[in-house]
Amino acid sequence: MTKLEEILVLVRSINEDEFQEQLTNGNSLEDVHKELLFLAEKMESKKKRTNVIIEHISNCYAGDFFNYLPISDAQDELDVFCMGFNTYIEELKEVMVSKNSLETINKKLVEEKERSEQLAMARDEFLSSMSHEIRTPLNGILGFTDLLLKNTSLDDESKKQLDYIKISGDILLVIINDILDLAKIESGQITLYEKPFDLSKLTQLIYDTFSSKIQVKEIDFKISIDKKVPIILNGDSIRVSQILFNLISNAVKFTPIKGKIRLKIKFDNETEDFHHIKVTVKDSGIGIPSDKLDTIFDPFIQVSNDTARKYGGTGLGLTIIKKIINIMNGEIQVKSKLDRGTKFIVNLAFRKVNSNSVDLKSIVNKNRLDVPVNTVGRIKVLLAEDNRINQVLIEKVLSKFDFDCVTVDNGNLAVEAHIHGEFDIILMDIMMPIMDGYTATSIIRNLEDKTKKDIPIVALTAVVTGSVVESCSSVGIDKYLSKPFESEELYNVINELVHKSGNIN
């Protein structure tokens, strides 16, 4: 083998991917020059294409997701990468269009174990963070509103305005929960709370929420409630509020100036255990084309792009309330004619209230919390909470229960306070600086002193993802309450756990 041939063999071996077949016989310097030029052009081409790829991926990070990477005729490893990247872009586009595509992609991600675990971890962290950041201030808003509503010296107008804040906050909370945990609502795993409530008052509050828009558009809005409808119904008033809120919001949104809206609530029938109520919301708005009626309950779907631009909205409202109605064992129907108006008919069943166990007058005029007298002794609560507004709120709520409360700002201080103090129960926030609630609970559960290690611990947190509930249980937290919390529920949980432990200081 000549020196020239040896040089070419060496060049080809170093860059074998570039030489699918030899270009020359290697008999002269001209042959060597030709193959080196070929290699240099290949390398320069790769360099340029690599720079294009890097620039494109940088643009993706900046938000320009949907441009494809160029594919050359070389069909080399860069082209393989580009084809894989473009496939990912195609899948991402489908995700934005269809929930079914998202499910398909999730199945593929399961097969890619490492990538799936990283994605799940990132998603969970995002939802936990968003849940905490949104629900924490909302806890303060709803909590202090509840405290103010229990003030017997409030005049009627002030109480009415606080009722508006409360119902708006409750609806906002439900929407936040649905968006942050869409998988939960899609699987129907929504917790319904059955409590007596005044449907007439609830309906009026929702109407008042839209009263300014109704006046501006000069809409003829009338409400009629059948006299046979019981004054007090037993059910989830927040979910009923959400149903009415969405239907009336759509009616007001799509009804033109000087149009008409009718809200009718009728007593349909009754069985041994249930009252069956029919709610109808009818408007004289823009209507829905007949070919769109079957899709209006699908997520992110609106009648047209023009509708979304002109009237706004996410396209989630009807999807969410249909799922809620299904879970409540109810039905929803829609009838509409283009440019004539739309009518939604909702059938709901409410379990009958046991009049022997419910004080109807106290429900209709409920303005304060009646707390049972603690005849055993003042319960001593250790509160670990880093948000000052929530500290003040919980301290005031516990004070109304006639409980003693000591507050600390993080898990580390909670452990120290518990070791050196005497408490009956700990309310533990999860996301705190210096030491979080999980770590603090683990340390307490590993103390040598049996009385100290077995103290009841309640997670009182703004994080609501399913993994958090599992994590709380795994470190030994006895009960989980999400913020915003109901003061009555907090009272009941504290009493239950403290008396169950049988160790009141």
pLDDT of the chain, 505 residues: tens digit per residue: 676 777 777 766 666 666 666 667 766 778 778 878 877 877 777 788 888 888 877 777 666 666 778 787 777 777 888 888 888 877 777 666 666 666 777 777 777 767 666 665 666 666 666 666 777 777 778 778 888 887 878 888 888 888 888 777 777 776 676 566 555 555 555 677 788 999 988 998 888 878 878 988 999 999 999 999 998 999 988 889 889 988 998 899 889 999 999 999 999 998 888 999 999 999 999 888 888 888 888 765 555 445 444 444 445 678 878 888 988 899 999 999 988 999 999 999 999 876 554 444 444 444 334 444 444 568 999 999 988 888 988 998 899 899 999 999 999 999 999 999 999 999 999 888 899 999 999 999 999 998 899 999 999 887 666 667 778 889 999 998 888 788 888 998 999 999 887 665 5
SS3 content of the chain, % helix, strand, coil (to 5): 55, 15, 30
Q: 397 lies in a domain?
A: yes
311 and 243 belong to one structural domain: yes
Q: 154 lies in a domain?
A: no
204 and 352 belong to one structural domain: yes
User: What does the pLDDT read at residue 455?
Assistant: 95
CB 252 within 8 A of CB 217: yes
Q: 183 lies in a domain?
A: no
Burial of 15 (0-12, 13-18, 19+ CB in 10 A): middle
User: What does the pLDDT read at residue 366?
Assistant: 46
Q: 159 lies in a domain?
A: no
Q: Which CATH number covers residue 215?
A: 3.30.565.10
Q: From CA 170, how far away is CA 164, in angstroms rounded?
A: 10
Q: 24 lies in a domain?
A: yes
Q: 223 lies in a domain?
A: yes
280 and 315 belong to one structural domain: yes
414 and 329 belong to one structural domain: no
End of a domain among 72, 96, 120?
Answer: 96
Q: From CA 208, how far away is CA 18, in angstroms rounded?
A: 74
397 and 270 belong to one structural domain: no
Neighbours of 222 (CB within 10 A): 9
Q: From CA 421, how far away is CA 153, in angstroms rounded?
A: 38
- R_g over Cα of the chain: 32
Measure Cα distances from 350 to 150, 232, 265, 269, 347 in Å.
27, 10, 13, 11, 10
End of a domain among 75, 96, 117?
Answer: 96
Domain count, the chain: 3
284 and 356 belong to one structural domain: yes
252 and 330 belong to one structural domain: yes
Strand partners, 64: none
User: What does the pLDDT read at residue 298?
Assistant: 76
The token pair that represents 139 in the structure block: 């806890």
Q: 180 lies in a domain?
A: no
Q: What is the DSSP string of 176-204?
A: HHHHHTHHHHHTT-PPP--EEEEHHHHHH
Q: From CA 443, how far away is CA 374, in angstroms rounded?
A: 31
Q: 272 lies in a domain?
A: yes
360 and 473 belong to one structural domain: no
Q: Which residues contact 389 (CB under 8 A, 6 or more apart)?
A: 137, 140
User: What does the pLDDT read at residue 72?
Assistant: 79
Query: Can you give the residue range of the structural domain that contains 413?
Result: 380-501
Q: From CA 13, how far away is CA 140, in angstroms rounded?
A: 70
CB 139 within 8 A of CB 176: no
- Residue of 135, 120, 178, 181 lying closest to 314 (CA atoms): 178
401 and 341 belong to one structural domain: no
405 and 326 belong to one structural domain: no
**Does residue 412 sit in helix, strand or coil?**
helix
Q: From CA 408, how far away is CA 415, in angstroms rounded?
A: 10
328 and 408 belong to one structural domain: no
End of a domain among 66, 96, 126?
Answer: 96
314 and 241 belong to one structural domain: yes
Pairing status of strand 260-270 against strand 274-283: antiparallel
Q: Which CATH number covers residue 484?
A: 3.40.50.2300
User: What does the pLDDT read at residue 222?
Assistant: 94
The token pair that represents 186 in the structure block: 């899609």
Measure Cα distances from 210 to 136, 203, 217, 287, 311 in Å.
27, 11, 11, 20, 15
Strand partners, 196: 234
Name the DSSP letter for residue 24. S
